[in-house]
Amino acid sequence: MSVTSPGEMPDVDAAPDGRATRWADHRAARRDELVRAARRAVHHRGPDLSMDDIATEIGTSKSILYRYFADKTGLQVAVGQAVLGRMRDALEEAAAQAGGPRERISAMVGVYLEMVDASPHVYAFVTRPEATAGEVRGFVAEVADLVTEAVLPALRGDGPHGGTEVEESTLVAARLWAAGVVGLVRGAVDLWLGNRLAQTDAPDVGRVPRQALAMHLSDWLWDGAVGVLRRARQSRGG
């Protein structure tokens, strides 16, 4: 039992009410459960489900969903945070396990496409501009940082005897390039996925195999990276 001296305010943060803590934990767990259930529903039924559809699919009521999410956009944001978080972790792991810069870029492109291909409906659901614009922008910025990190060893000339510091102008160019190529990958993937989901016949973008798309994107990204690396070496007089 906490004892408070006369005239001293009790420290409410030091001993939180046990019931309140348990309720907050229960609410957080229930919210996570609803996010996972909504993700499964979208995965199986498609990205255009209404709140009524989602509630029916996961076996609850719409009023329960609104108790945890202000509206459909709130639910999309919550699902998006979970999906993008998993994708971010997978990209970081792929970058860490790959060898040189080109292998890192190829590995990240492969992981990105694999996760999109595994659940195209969920990807479409969480990347709609009206739903998760802020989350997607933050995610894209983080991925751009990962891509920059992937080419930094080559920019430094890392090798058995170490490397050199990267000039600020080169680092700026690398960051601009990384942001641009992340946009290129996302734009190409969105077109590829949109054609697949719509099953359009012309052009046949949606019929390109995932592995072929990954190879094209990796080659395009590396071709751009080579230019950044070449100019970095020229600026060092190499």
Q: pLDDT tens digits, residue range 176-209?
A: 888 888 888 888 988 898 888 776 665 678 889 9
Query: Looking at residue 8, what is its pLDDT?
Result: 45
pLDDT tens-place string over residues 16-72: 567 878 888 889 999 999 999 999 999 999 989 999 999 999 999 999 999 999 888
DSSP state of 226: H
**CA dist., res. 142 & res. 148, Å (int):** 10
pLDDT of 136 strictly over 70: no
Comparing 10 with 155, the larger pLDDT belongs to 155
pLDDT of amino acid 235: 61
For the residues 125-142, what does the mean pLDDT come to?
69
**Is residue 66 packed enough to be buried (19+ CB in 10 Å), middle (13-18) or exposed (0-12)?**
middle
Of 124, 44, 31, 123, the residue nearest 86 (C-alpha): 123
Residue with tokens 């798309």: 213
How far is Cα 126 from Cα 118, in angstroms, rounded to an integer? 14
Secondary structure E strands in 131-176: none
Is it the case that residue 7 has pLDDT exceeding 50? no
Q: Of the ranges 8-12, 124-128, 142-146, 179-183, which one carries the lowest mean pLDDT score? A: 8-12
CA dihedral 57, 60, 61, 63 (to 10 degrees): -120
Mean pLDDT of the chain: 79
- Please give the residue that has the higher pLDDT: either 64 or 220: 64
Report the chain's terminal Cα–Cα distance, integer Å: 71
Distance CA 177, CA 148 (A): 8
pLDDT at 149 over 60: yes
Residue 156 has pLDDT above 50, yes or no: yes
Q: pLDDT higher for 48 or 8?
A: 48
